[in-house]
Amino acid sequence: MDTTTDTAEAISDPTTDPDASPSRRPLPLQRPFHGRMLAGVAAGVADYLGVDVTIVRIVLAVLTVMGGAGIPIYLAGWLLIPDEDAEQSLASELIQSLSARPR
């Protein structure tokens, strides 16, 4: 009696099985109000990636010390990632307000 085919059929692959949905749905990339230190960029990226916020903060700190790339990355995240309760990011709102202004 060959049980390898029975075992292989019993294990479902979530990527091919439409009924097997993952238990954790990916969160949208946004800056949450909980866990903020400054603007919530690190907390939002950590929630989105499913990692601890300390790891993201350490990476940003290392990038800042080793060449200064952490500061522009953080500022870009602040402008491009929307707030938890906002529909648009700060940059989108700014562009929209500038384009709606009469000339």
Catalogue the E-assigned strands of 1-103: none
Which residue type, as a one-letter code, is found at position 54? T
Q: What is the DSSP letter of 30?
A: -
Report domain extents, the chain.
Answer: 28-100
Name 80's Cβ contacts closer than 8 Å, sequence gap at least 6: 89, 90, 91
Q: Which residues of 52-62 are buried (b: 16+ CB within 10 A; e: fewer)?
A: ebeebbeebee
pLDDT tens column, 25-65: 667 899 888 888 899 999 999 999 999 999 999 999 999 99
- Which tokens sit at 14? 């979530």
Q: Return phi, psi of residue 83, to 5°.
A: -65, 165
| Overall pTM surpassing 0.75 (yes/no) | no
